[in-house]
Structures are given as C-alpha cells and as structure tokens.
Chains A and B, each alone.
Chain A
C-alpha cells in the first residue's frame, strides 16, 4: 500500500513550503506523486527516488574515472586531508539541514579551517548592510495578514520563488487582508519587464546598477525634498518616483522584498544599506519592513547556526581554533580562491563548479576537492572525492530556516537506503579529526 505523507517540507527555495503532500511506494523507495508543490519541488522529490543516485562515495582514480569506496574510506580520506591542510575551506550549505550545519562547524573548528556558505555569493551584501544598519523585518505571516503595499526590488519571485506570491505576499487572504490582491498595491522595481512585473500594479524600470540613486531619490522625498529631484533618476521619471513614494508613505503595512538585483550589482551592500535607511525613514510615518529573498530553503540556516556557534554568520576563518575571525573580502570563499589562499576545498550542499565564476573554480581545483552532495553536478564531476548524502526533506528530516528565519521542521519520506545524513557524516569526520589532533599533540 502506498503511503501518503502530509505537511512535508519542500527543499528548494526560500519559501520552504511545508504543505507538500507526497505519496511513496510501500517499500519506502520511490516517490509516486507530489502535490501542492511547484514544478521545481516536484523535480526534487522525483530526483530523490531516481535509480541514478549514487549511494556510495566515489574516489577519482589516476585515469580520471571514479571508483566506489566505502563511507569509512571516504571519511578517512577527508579527515586525513583536513588534518594535513593548512587552510582548508568548507563551503556551501544551501541544501543541508541545521543539524548538518552544526556538525560542519564542529569539523572546521577541530580541523582549523575556513567555513563559508552560499550567502558569500548571494545575500552576503545583505549581512554587510545589516552589520551597519540593522534589519527591520517581520515573519511572512505578518505580510500575509497585514500588508497592503508590496515592493519587489531586484527580485523575480515568479521565477525564483514560485509560490511566494500565492502563499505569502500578493494573493493570500489574511486576517486583515480579506480581499487579497484586490486591496494590495504591488510595485516591481527591476530593469527587466519580468514575469513578476507582469502581475504588478506598477513597474518601475530602473537602470541596471543604479538602484542606489533611486533609493536616494525616495529618501529625498521622505525628507521633504521631493521638489528638488531631477527630472530623471536612474532612468525613472520624477513623476513616477513621487507617485511610488506617496503610495509607500501612505501604506498601512508595507514590505520590501529584495534580491540579487541589488546584491549582485555595483554597490553590493550599499544598495541594501540605503534600502534599510529608507525603511527607517518610512517607519516615521507608516509601518514598513524589509526582507531578503533568501534563495534556498535553508540558506538562512548556516547564518543562524554559525551566529550562535561562533558569533558570525559566514566567511569564517577558524584556523586559529581558539577564536573565529570574519572579514568578507578577506575570508570570503571566492576572494580566497582567487588569491590561492586555500589548500583544500570541500563543496557541500551546493555546486561551486557551476555557480562560482570559472576562474575561481580553476584556482580551487589546484588542490584536493571533496564534494558532499546527493547529486551528480559540476562539482562532483571535477572533484577528487564525491560523497553522496541524504536529501533533507526527502531521505532525512531536520530543521531548516525559511527566508524569514522561521524554523520549519522537515520530514523524512523516503528510506535512505544506506546513505548517511550530512550530520552523521560530518560528525564522523570531526571525530576522526579530533583523534588525529590528539595523536599529533
């Protein structure tokens, strides 16, 4: 008899939807049907029960082929290399649970290395801005229940967070928002006429890379200098700036959702910093919150876990073992790669082979490369050792943090069939590194 699991969490994007229904074969090995989920989520669950999944670690041979080895051998290989490396880097964690992230922290503190997560190439600029200017935010339910004005700035949820608009922001009928979309004003600020802009009330076509000037223009209006604005700022006409500022200042509850359009462009953290300053201006006359559209279902996780473990959310240098050092730009993964400062790379729960700029990949590839990830991906196909693990939300449960830092408890729906979880694997590696440290001492 197939088994039906309700209230399952989806391990793709920062929506971390927890209303998925999964039907699984009687033997716990195959996903038969997935409901309530977007097409990307469907793929994840299907992929979870694909016969093509590797279920044992593979070690690269001198002729370039991969040979299966046992988990014990893979743990030994990794621990030995970590022990010998002077500045190993473990990076990723877009797709691991918090228990795994806590175990990773243990590994790199014992080994004395660097620990970083995908925020370093994604919402790192958000962290930098938060360090300087704070973060006036809320949980997604506050948006659903109260918001009458929504701004998507440099963010395209129609493509990156498919159920965001229907579950949280535009369409849902919440407690104080019983009329749903009809009583909400949606503003999309983006250089492209995106599919999200297509469902918005207003599209502000800002010049790519010039969002900072537009934020500044809004701030001018909030400070009473709207009349002094030039006719056009960042390709946006003054009339539209005044119109949008008026809507924002009169909101009952407004939220700005923002994404890579701001964090990947010139200015990086300064774009977010001024966005937060604008929120502070708006909170003098209305009620506004801002939220980073985190890309993965638990990419907020390492930031949360490592903040309570080390005091810093990313770009951690733990090489001294007694204390942690963080200095993005110096201790960030891509910068260290480009300066040849690491001598071992562990890619975990991500695919640096595909998502780092290729020169960084070339630098990292000069050293031992381990990929800990369930999938065959670019990183696994160039690494020296590929260790498959459970997919969180599919073959194992665990706690994940949604984009608004609300913890969601994920469930296991498939039998792991011998795969280790990130947590189990990393704790074993940490145990072995502790042993090597004790012997070496």
Chain B
C-alpha cells in the first residue's frame, strides 16, 4: 500500500499530451494513479523536469555476443573503467566496463540516466538461456529480448513456400520457447550466406541453397507479424550496412513496407521499425566520396507513416561493434585490422565483434556523426524517431545525454564540428552545419520514452505517466522554463537524475543508487491453435540438424526471472 507523490515538476508526457506544465504525478503500489492520500511520501520536483522512465528500444546488453565482447576486451575494463577515477561502490555489486558494461553496471548506469526499461536487440534462440541468466543479473531494469529470424532455416522454408500461417505458428512457438518479445531481422539472408563466407548485399541477392531473397524474407515476416498481431512490428537491420552508397538499398528496404497496415490491439501503428538508420544512410561510391544521405532517406520516412526508425548515432568514442551481421564485422576487421570474434549459430544466425575507434579527426567518422544527428533533425514526427546509438556499436549508452545535448543545441554541434581536423570535408559532405533546428524537451520525451513505448506496443505500461502505467518516473535537474545556455549543463542534467523511480521505489537519488529491486522479463505469449505440420517440422530439424535435443531447447520456466507476458490470441 505504498504511495508516492512527485510535486510541482515540469511534466513532459507525450502519451498524455502534457508539454511541460506543472503537474503532480501520483504513484500507488507501483502504478501511476490519479491521486494518492495525504499519507503519501512526497518528492518536491520544483524547478525540475519530470518524464516517464526512459525506454531504450534497441541496445545490446545481455547475451552471448555481448558477453564474448566483454570476454575478449580486458582493456575495456583496464583503461576505460570508472574505477581508475576512484568510484565508490554504489550498489551491492561492483561496476566494470566502459563500452560493454557488466550486467550489474548496465542496470545501475541506465538507472542513473533515468531509463527503466530496455529492449535487448538480438537474441540467438539457441542461446536464450544465456540471455535470461544475464537478465537475472541486471538489477532494476525491466528487460525484453528479441529473437532473430532473418536467417532462420524454418523461416526460409516457410516463406519460400509462402506459408505465412505455418511461419506464424513457428514464430509463436519460438517466442514461448525463448521467452522472446518480438521479431528481429538482421541482414536478412546475409548471415546464412556468411556461413559459407558470402553475403547478401542487396535485397534481391538470393540466399545460397535456400534460394529466397531478403525482400521475400522481410515481406514474409511483416505479413507474419501482422497475422499474429504482435505488440511490436518487425525490427529490421537491413542489408548492406555501413557501406558508401547504401542509402539506395535502404530505400529499397523501407519500401518493402508499402501497402501493409498494422494489425494489433496494442496501439502500434507501424509495420516496420528500421533500426540504427544512421549506418544505412550514406551516399558516395567510395570512402573518398562518402557523404550523408540523411535527407533523401528522411524525405521518404517522413511521408511514410507505417514505419518507425531509430538513429544509431556515432558518439566519437572508442567502442565495440557487435552485431548478428557476421559478414559486415568481417568486412570491418579487414578495414581496421583489429581483433575479430565471430560465432555462426546453427540453423539460426551468426554474430561478429570488432573493437572500433570513432576518431573525430577522420573525415568519414565526422560524416557518420553528422548523419545520425541529421536524421533526428530532419524528422517530422518524433513519435516515430527514437534516440539510440545501437549500443555499443555507435557508442556506449552512457553517451545518450551527449546526443540529447547535440540535438538540443546548435552551439554544441558547432563546437564539436569545429574540433574536427577534417571539418571542411565533413561540412561539404553533410547538411548538419546549416541546420538550425534545436529539439526541445517535449521532442526528447517523444524520442526517448513515448515513441519507443508506442512502437513496442507497450505504451500502457511504459513511456507514459497516464494512470495505469508502471510507476517509472525520472526527475532531471533541468528547469524547463530556464534551459541553460551552456549546453554542457544539459548533458550533465541528463547524465544523473535527481530521482529515478521504478515501480514507485526510489532507486536513484542525486545520481546515486539507493535501492536495487529486481526488474521483470517482458515477453510475448501467443496463444494459437496447434499446428501439427509445424510441430513435425520442428521435430525433424532437431533430430537431423540441431545438436541440442528438442526437449532441452525451450528455456525452462525456472530459468526465466519474474516474467511478465504481453498476451496475444490468434484464432
């Protein structure tokens, strides 16, 4: 029967339509309510900015490739760990790592930023128990994980035969087996090709042996997703990531969503979420002619209401790239000759990991940095445009406050541009220097809370301060009526909350961890009539091709922690 009231803050809640008015937020028994009794504990948020807890729609924080990244990079702890600065242990467990934090640090660090729910961007289904072990050891946050389907043998065969219903039954089965939340697609077809050392660079390159194209895979998965009515749309990392001139492939990819309508009971309106768009928005035919195609891409996104995107900004740090786009990582290693890890996963997917230094004095890097911000500044609908770095690929999530600063302050953007050695080349190849737009706090609330929650089909739970939502609230030391002229103060304010509240419990106060309740595992439970054909196909593949027995594949219920299901029923 615990009650909490946050008084007098400047509230930004796009779901409720509150644009900075002074309002009180009441929480009872972990949920937002209309009002509470006079016995409620009170927090004074006068002169501060109040938002719902942050929602990160795409981040790599739990799972086998994240962990292989941790394992292979001791230097990420030795040279970049906070401990060298003499950090005092805040939570119960120590915090280690910079670009790939340990799970304990992930929970604490996101909480200090005011985030309370994150969506793990990729889960290889065979290794789902590993993902759930790491979720168990990540404090405070609610976490969901998306299994990958774009290189899955079952999907190849069903979609080649246009068997949407069978594909849907398989995916429903797999979501339960992995306690996954939705359909992730990474480099469709290309990662299977990589198991033979090849790739699919355009949406029409057929997959070796399976003879299906990425276009067919994406369209088939969109149809499957809408057949099921899942809370989220398909979540796509398209083909040809990272290469000069790839924006044409990106437009081809985005156009695959044309003609489809979202079908679900979760308030989701998009049929395709295209992730880390920055890495897919390049002009040119070589590194020398590399340039920004953000405008071309955003012109299309702006007029296409059934897609959502996230930025995937480059933060100009040393970081670690890691993705299920195995061939891309090999390609990156051939460019920078760093250590390279790779893991192809039977029947399902693959992954690659390569450390990377985004040196702002290299022209291409400066251009990438500009592209990420241009996408945000060209966006007309910020409820369809979300703030990410594809952590840790473009940079660590600890840099989200810096991206907010850049989006809100032209002065800050100019300062960074000025510091670049190849500034003239960067300016010539991009539009950023001439863009005056500065986003405001309401825009930021859309990009970091309301928008991602809606796209995930979870705005009744997260990203919202409407009654009924989870009592997740972030209070920032930022006076909405007097935004500081020094943009550094914006970054500072978003780096450490005055308060982070998770389900009514104060977990961060003055930027320090004061409590660490455990979070939930969010997943999608699909109830569907039994499909005997699909069950037979599953048995056959496990007998012939997998190396784990079918009965050991699904995550045991005991190995999932505090699960919370979004329920879907298919007739």
Contacts and interface: CB of A to CB of B under 8 A. Distances in A.
Nearest to A305: B133
Contacts of B197: 283, 286-287
Contact of B94 (A109, A137, A140): A109
| Secondary structure class of chain A's binding surface, majority of residues | mixed
Contacts of B551: 6-7
B83 interface: yes
A316 to B, nearest CB: 10
Given A18-B548, A253-B195, A409-B559, 20 more contacts: A98-B133, A102-B133, A109-B94, A131-B339, A134-B333, A138-B195, A139-B344, A139-B345, A140-B547, A141-B545, A168-B547, A175-B153, A289-B342, A309-B93, A311-B70, A311-B77, A397-B556, A399-B129, A405-B343, A407-B127
A165 B354 CA distance: 31
B346 interface: yes
A133 B73 CA distance: 10
Given A134-B341, A283-B330, A141 B347 contact: yes
B344 A309 contact: no
B97 interface: yes
Interface string A129-156: 0111111111111101110000000000
A7 B94 contact: no
Interface of A: 6-7, 9, 18-19, 98, 102, 106, 109, 127, 130-142, 144-146, 167-168, 173-176, 252-253, 280, 283, 286-287, 289, 303-305, 307-313, 318, 321-324, 326, 397, 399, 401, 405-409
B94 A323 contact: yes
A307 B546 CA distance: 27
29 contacts: A6-B551, A18-B548, A18-B549, A109-B94, A130-B339, A134-B72, A134-B339, A135-B72, A137-B341, A137-B344, A139-B343, A139-B345, A139-B346, A142-B195, A145-B545, A176-B209, A289-B342, A308-B62, A309-B103, A310-B96, A321-B89, A322-B89, A324-B94, A326-B77, A399-B130, A401-B130, A406-B127, A407-B129, A408-B548
B547 A133 contact: no
B81 interface: yes
B344 A142 contact: yes
Interface string B512-552: 00000000000000000000000000000000111111011
Contacts of B133: 98, 102, 305, 308, 399, 407
A12 B81 CA distance: 37
Nearest to B153: A175
Contact of B345 (A138, A167, A399, A408): A138
Contact of A406 (B104, B126, B354): B126
Nearest to B88: A322
Given A135-B72, A175-B545, A323-B81, A310 B102 contact: yes
A287 B208 CA distance: 14
Interface in B56-104: 62, 64, 66-68, 70-74, 76-77, 81, 83, 87-89, 93-94, 96-97, 100, 102-104
A141 B548 CA distance: 9
B309 interface: no
A253 B96 CA distance: 37
B221 interface: no
Interface of B: 62, 64, 66-68, 70-74, 76-77, 81, 83, 87-89, 93-94, 96-97, 100, 102-104, 126-130, 133-134, 137, 153, 195-197, 209, 330, 333, 338-347, 350, 353-354, 544-549, 551-552, 555-556, 558-559
A171 to B, nearest CB: 13
A89 B196 CA distance: 45
Contacts of A253: 195-196
Nearest to B550: A7
Contact of B93 (A109, A133, A303, A399): A109
B103 A308 contact: yes
A397 B73 CA distance: 31
Nearest to A172: B547
Contacts of A283: 197, 330
A313 B68 CA distance: 10
B69 to A, nearest CB: 9
User: Which of B71, B128, B333 neighbours the largest number of chain A CB atoms within 10 Å of its CB?
Assistant: B71
Contacts of B544: 173-175
Contacts of B333: 134, 280
A283 B342 CA distance: 11
Contact of B195 (A137, A146, A406, A408): A146
B74 A311 contact: yes
A283 B126 CA distance: 25
B102 A309 contact: yes
Contacts of A321: 89, 94
* The 4 A-B residue pairs with the shortest CB-CB distance in the complex, in nearest-first order: A141-B346, A323-B83, A134-B339, A287-B197
A309 B126 CA distance: 22
Contacts of A175: 153, 544-545
